[in-house]
Structure formats: structure tokens, C-alpha cells
Structure 1
């Protein structure tokens, strides 16, 4: 409904209680932030920067989540702090000079890796581009920063198969232990099992608080997941579903089971344009007992394990919910306020004694898990990218996950080598079958030619009027001579044969492999295996270094066959 009367859009720029300039932000992920310039240096910049920040994070800006807005704010504060520390700091945007931004970029590059320094400078550039006319910075300053932000490809390599297997096995073991633990607590609560007193569990189940007292802590652990359980659940769900960790953290509790075989979930996929954030997927549930291996079954299992905690949370719409210490609130999602909840992945890996293939302590990275899953699926699909691309387009899958991954590149080289070997063997087999019908060429390595032969393009012919297969005058292509018993090859033909091989290799760069092998493969195999093998290496070497000969390959093919 449209508002009644005159509608005025509320400005995101305001004043804090201390009188400083501040900018309010409300993201598409439902999280809010207020960016206050009170603690920022150079007050002469604040008014104009507030306008630029509001444009960057407002409805028309490209930063649409709280995490991305915070990622912009921190570099901007660092930018002002660095300028304020210079001998002659610019008191307003108009005074900003090339020496200032070069000093800032150099100071950032000196304290972190180039990839992260690039991000810091990029955020500052995007804000400075949106400065209002009253605070516009000189053009030459932006030109310098644009050169420094020419773009850096950031690639995360995949885990090896062994590393991924160990990582997933550790996560699956913890989730399985969590399922058994909560199942036992529910049996005790229902009076079906002994152990911890049911009355104490009922008190914890109603209050839902994980106190610092050891006995209450152990009782709560029998009914609710705790913070120590989160790493294993996140790792396993990311590995089984193959989704980005941002999507995993923002899973909704609402879902629908379709025919008992799949679960329908509405996912939030970031880094898309406005209006394209949400995607509905169907995750397979799998057979009973396979819940830890199928995305739908794992989603439903974790949903059930966190159901008791979710019922006591202030906002039950979130999928993730665990029992927290009382000073943090009894229950809730660790990612409700921020996507960076400080989950200790390194401590979890160390607790399991995980090591990489080199024996070093294991570093858990969700980006590497995602890359590993994409690479594994691509290998399972035989390298067919349209079949392997499920959550991204084919160009994104290749550019961001496969192109620079060492394991995938090595596998691709092996596949290509196997394919070339198979193609070469197929061409050699075709040559041998044809040679069985028409004979093999006569190769004279050192002996003199005993029978006269008419000279051809790359070889001689003893009887062009009687083809071995038909008994009639030969009408075949000169490329077919290498499968004919009338063909004669002497050392004088070697330079032309080497030129022909070079011409074939050049033609290979211009047409697809399948066409090349069909058109030139049998002749190439015959020359390589039946002809050159009859000459000494020294003869072949001298022929290869002889003056260039015209291969006349174009003259022996019909015009319509030209690539």
C-alpha cells in the first residue's frame, strides 16, 4: 500500500547523541548497523564522506549486507587515520594529493599480503568515487588509485582427496556423536532411560540456560547443541551440500518435504544483483541411515537436533540455534548479528589431530571445501562442465574453482594424455587395417632402390596404374599412399616427410582434435610408426634440419576440406 499524504524518504545520514555525523544501514539480510564518524580523524572530511558512504550502502549502492558494509567501513577509517598521521595531512577532500594516496597504498601493502591490500584500496576507491561536488577529490588522485586496483585474481586451491576425506570423517564422527548424545538426553527426559535425573533435565529444558556450573552444563549438553558442536556441523553440511559458507550460515528453519524423498529449502545466495538473492533448491533425503551423506537428510537431522534450542530462541526462524551462556542469552543463532561469529575452526581441527598431506597442522577453510567439492564433482562428470555446474554458471565454475587448482590441472593433463593416446592408438589401428588390405609402404633406409618408382608428393609409386586393392589406376589421395603396397620411401623423401609432419602439426592448431585425427591421423601414425622407425635417428635429425620444403598439404586436399 502507498502511504497516505506526502511521503518523505528518511535520510540515512543523521547525528548521534554526541553530535557526530553517522550513517544508518539496513541490509537485505535483515541486519542493521550505524556507522559513526565520532572516532574518525580529520573532521573536515566527515560530512562529505557521510554522503558517499550513504550512496555506497544505500538502496542504490552495491553493498547490500551488513558484512560487506563493515568491510567497507574499516578500510575507510584506516584511510583517515593514515592521512591524519602524515606531516601535512589534507584537512578536506580538495587538499588530497597524489602523495597522500600513494603513502596510504604503500602503508597498506607493507603490513599485509598483496591480495588483502588490494581489497583495502578498492574499498576506499569506491567511496571516493561517490564523493559529492562539495567534497570531490582531484581526478589525478583517483587515476593513481585505479592503477593500483587493476584487479588481482584470488584463487583458493582445493584440498587433496586424502585431506578432504579426513576432514569430512572427523566432522561426520562429531555429528554422529551429537545425535547419540541428544537422543540419550531425550530418552532420559521421557523417563525411558536411566543416567542423569529426569527432573534436572526438565529444569534445563524449560529454562534452557547453559550455566557455568559443571553439572548444569552437562545436563544442557544432553538436550541442546553447544558452541563446540558448531564447527563439525558447518563443515559437514558445507561438504555434503557443496554450498558457500554464507549460504550455509543463513539457512532458514522453514522447509517442505516433497514426497518423502527431498526437502525443499529457500536459500540465500549472496553476491548477486538485487532481487536475485533467493533460490529454491531440492535436496535429496536419501535412504534411512544415510542422513550424514545426503544434503536433505543432513539438513533434516540438524534441524531436529537444534529444534529444542530453536523453540527457546527469541527468533525461531533461523535454522542454526544452540545453547549459550546466560550472559549471552539462553538460545539463538550465532550468525544472527554477524556472519563472523568467531567459530574456532582451528581448535576443532587440532582437537581431532588433523594434519595435511605434508604433516603440518590442518587449516580449515570453507572456501577450500567448496573448491574441493566442485573439483570432485567435475572429475566425477568426466570433465563435462555443463553437467558439473550446479550452483554456478560454467564460466564461473571454470574461472573461480577449476582453472588454477593444481589437483584439477594435473587431473586434466592426465585425461588429455589418455585421450591423445587413445586417439593415436585408434589412428594406428586404422592404418594397420588398411595396410592389411593394400599392403605397407616399402622403406629403403640404406639399400639402393631396385625397382623404378614415379616420384609423388612425399614418396614414390612403383605402379600407379594398378592399385593393390582395385587393380585399376590409382585415384586415392597422396595421404593414402602411406597405406599402399606400391608406396616407396627412400632417404631422399625424408626432408619432405618432416615438412609434412610440421604442416600437420600446424593444421592441428586450427581445427578440432576429432577432425584432425579423422583426416590426418592414419597418415600421421603410418609415418611415425612404419616409416621413421626404419631410418636411423641421425638420418631423421639431418632431415629435420634440412632446408625448408613446401609440404604442399593444401594441394592434395579438396578446397571444401580446408579449415
Structure 2
């Protein structure tokens, strides 16, 4: 609309210029989950998916044993194995076509006719796939679309045989207004129960039977998240889902919400989980630029703001400490005050209450630190010696290791450079011209450590 209106000659030029500027999208108001909420969601998702994984694992083992002729033909275990074999090859247990009920021969072996006792023995339900998606998001910080469209990860050559599989994930994040998506790959290692790659190993195990059957039905399908429809033959329950025969793919907000309601949560957690993981746990962009990550996700998040308080405070204290070390802090005076004691670089007004030494004790700090002490007084009589000290430090910089220079001499040099700037070039040059043999001797002793106690 703005592009159209800009063509109207009746609009003043300033208005057209304002309309030509890019529109900044208002950041979303979603807030990250608290640590307690995040933990509850993760436990609930783990409970849902773990139950499904153990169910599929048990029935897969039974099917393998049946195919290896472990059971006596005709016994209950054998009939269950035969029903599982039909389920693996067709997507459903043996049923009467018209009534869609389990055939009488297999009812006792299957125990019941509900989904829990029939097709769920080898396949995930839509809610269980949503729980798996939640676990992937909590681990990787991806958005729902990326997880939904994720191809089956590739195991890098040789890694499964070594017992520590490494998976390569091919990820795509779609952009607004039809722009090309952002593609990337990540490698995840399954090195144990707490590793990021373990959820991928379990996802592959839970969807193995579905992927084998889909390979026969449609060889072009390559998705990690696969779930079986509750009503596979009419396909009306989830009309927007991508489907191949009885199977659907991925997860969307409605699927996430359905799972959330089943475990007593309100609304799909997927979007907020992604923000929680990337802002508070991974603390790095998740398929975004650093600028977008900071501006859209981090800046407006209350928990990130709260966590930043001690970091900012520590940074401010570090800056103050650095300033105290490198900024000239001694007092400039026209003449020494009565009672001041002379040091190698300045005069001291109170050596028993120095901020550089414990209270009540005589100051034991190096004379190089007099320029960093508010008790010190620098008068014109000290200018030549300090000017010569700065010159000596600059000469020293070229003959010592950089690390040694930074540790031992850099702060003193910075304070003297600050003093030079305050006094001005003419005064400083006059001080250099007035350096005496005594000044040179004292500075040589100071740099050689002769005054250190």
C-alpha cells in the first residue's frame, strides 16, 4: 500500500520520503519460560515420548523374534508377531475391511482393539510426535517449521559402528514474503543420555517402522517426524496435515496445542520454547543474524534483562577499575603543602591512610603508583622527573616482551600520558628541558627496583 501511495503526486515530498523508509516489525511480546516452567514442559514431553518409545521398542523386538521363528506357530505370542508383521507391511493390524474391527483370530493376542493395542504398537501418534518435536526444540532451539520439515539426519560414515554416532542435520528456515530460506547443517553426537544427539537416535528408532513402510509407499518422502493418523482411511481429522496413506508429518501449533492440553498445559509451547532455549540456554542466534537475535529476542526478554544486571555491573566496575589504573589521579598543585613528604615521583600528603595499602599502615605501594593515588601531590618541581619517567618507559617498551610491558609498565605509562595531556605540550617540553642528573638517577633506580621493599 505504501508503494502505491508514493506514486500519488498530491503527497508532499517529506511524506513520500517517510513512507519510503523500511517498516520495522514490532518484536513479539512472547516471554521465555521460567526455569520451573521449562523443566515441567521438558519432563512432560519426555514422559509422553519415552512411553511411546518403550512401547515401540518392545513390539519391534517381538516382531524381530517372530521373523526369526522364535515362537511356536499358533501360540499367542506367534499370533501377536503375525499381527505386528501385517502392521509393519500395511500400516494396520489385520481388520475386517467394512467394520474396521480387529479380526477375531488376533483379538486375544492384541489384548484390545483400541489404538494403544493396534497401530500404536509400531507407530507414533500425532501427540507423541508433537512431544518429540518439543524435545528437539528444547535441545536445539529450532522453530516448529524447521523441525517439521527436517529430513532424516544422516549418520556420518563409521560412527554408528563405533558406538558414538554423529548425525548431520540439514536445516532450513523459511523467510517472509516468499524469500529463499536459510539453509544450514549441524553435527550432533550421541555420546550418552545427556548429549544433544541422543534425542536424534531415539527419534530415528521410534520412526523406523514408519519410514520403512513409507519407503515402499512413496520413495520421495524424507522426513524425521512421522506419525500415524487416528482415522487413516477418511483423512478428515487433520485436513491441513501433509499425508501419505495413513501417515502425517511434522508438527504445527495445533499439534503442539493438542499435546499440551493432553498433559495439562495451556497452548502450544513451541514458539516460547525456541525463545527460551536460544535466549537463556544456548545464548546464541538460532538461524537468525546476531542483530535480529539481540534486537528481537534478547532485548525485550525480562529474564535476559535480569541476568544482564550483574554482568553490566561487573563491566562497569571493571571499567572504573581500569580508569583508576590508567587515569592520572594525583592532585596537581602549584607548590608543596606543609607537611608533605617527598617520594621518588611526587609528594605525599598522608602516607598512613593510602587507598593502595591497608588502613593504619604506612604506604608500601610502588612509587610508580603515586600517580594513581589521590593523596599524592604533583607540583612543577616534579614535572621534569615525571617527563623523564614517561620517556624512559617509552624506551623500555621497545626492549621488553609485550606481555611483560602490559603487566608491569602499561598502566603507569597511561597515567603519565594522561598527565602530559593535562599539562599541555609547551609545559611538557619545558619539563623535559629541565631534567637534571638527579632526576635521571632517581628514575633509573626506580625502574631497576632499587626502591622496592
TM-score, length-scaled by structure 2: 0.58
CA distance in 2, matches of 1:376, 1:287: 24
Matched, 1:394 2:290: yes
Matched, 1:234 2:130: no
CA distance in 1, matches of 2:373, 2:224: 72
The residue that corresponds to 1:373 in the other structure is 277
* Cα distance, 1:186–1:473 mapped onto 2, change above 3 Å: closer
CA distance in 2, matches of 1:406, 1:200: 54
The residue that corresponds to 2:143 in the other structure is 244
Q: Would you say the 8 A contact 2:148–2:252 is kept in 1?
A: no
After superposition, where does 1:171-186 map in structure 2 within 5 Å?
171-186=45-60
* Cα distance, 1:138–1:246 mapped onto 2, change above 3 Å: same
Q: Choose from 1, 20, 27 the match for 1:154.
A: 27
Q: Choose from 327, 333, 344 the match for 2:248.
A: 333
Q: CA deviation at 1:458?
A: 7.5
Q: Choose from 313, 335, 348 the match for 2:259.
A: 348
Please provide the CA RMSD for this pair: 4.9
Q: CA deviation at 1:353?
A: 3.2
Deviations 1:148-189 (A, max 9, x none): 995441223222222212212211222221210101111222
Higher Rg of the two aligned structures: 2
Q: CA deviation at 1:229?
A: 0.8
Q: Would you say the 8 A contact 1:225–1:323 is kept in 2?
A: yes
Give the count of matched residue pairs.
328
The residue that corresponds to 1:307 in the other structure is 208
Q: CA deviation at 1:264?
A: 1.6
CA distance in 2, matches of 1:558, 1:366: 64
Range moving further from structure 2, 190-199 or 159-168? 190-199
Q: CA deviation at 1:139?
A: 7.0
Q: Would you say the 8 A contact 1:231–1:348 is kept in 2?
A: yes
Q: CA deviation at 1:223?
A: 0.7
The residue that corresponds to 2:435 in the other structure is none
Gaps in structure 1 of 5+ consecutive residues = 1-124, 131-135, 355-361, 380-387, 436-440, 442-455, 488-517, 523-551
Q: CA deviation at 1:205?
A: 2.2
Q: CA deviation at 1:465?
A: 9.2
* Cα distance, 1:471–1:259 mapped onto 2, change above 3 Å: same
After superposition, where does 1:78-477 map in structure 2 within 5 Å?
125=1, 129=4, 150-155=23-28, 156-189=30-63, 190-191=65-66, 197-209=80-92, 213=101, 215=113, 217=115, 218-253=117-152, 255-260=154-159, 261-271=165-175, 277=181, 279-290=183-194, 293-294=195-196, 296-313=197-214, 314-315=217-218, 316-324=221-229, 325=231, 326-328=233-235, 330-335=245-250, 340=252, 342-343=254-255, 345-354=256-265, 362-377=266-281, 388-389=284-285, 391-421=287-317, 457=332, 461-462=336-337, 467-469=342-344
CA distance in 1, matches of 2:249, 2:39: 27
Q: CA deviation at 1:482?
A: 0.9
The residue that corresponds to 1:37 in the other structure is none
Gaps in structure 2 of 5+ consecutive residues = 102-111, 160-164, 236-243, 350-366, 380-410, 427-453
The residue that corresponds to 1:452 in the other structure is none
Relative CO higher for 1 or 2, CA cutoff 8 Å, sep ≥ 6? 2
Q: Would you say the 8 A contact 1:310–1:331 is kept in 2?
A: no
Q: CA deviation at 1:224?
A: 0.8
Q: CA deviation at 1:553?
A: 11
CA distance in 2, matches of 1:391, 1:406: 22
Q: Would you say the 8 A contact 2:172–2:182 is kept in 1?
A: yes
Q: Would you say the 8 A contact 1:403–1:409 is kept in 2?
A: yes
The residue that corresponds to 1:493 in the other structure is none
Deviations 1:179-208 (A, max 9, x none): 101011112223479878222222322221
Q: CA deviation at 1:146?
A: 5.6
Q: Would you say the 8 A contact 1:252–1:265 is kept in 2?
A: yes
Q: CA deviation at 1:460?
A: 7.7
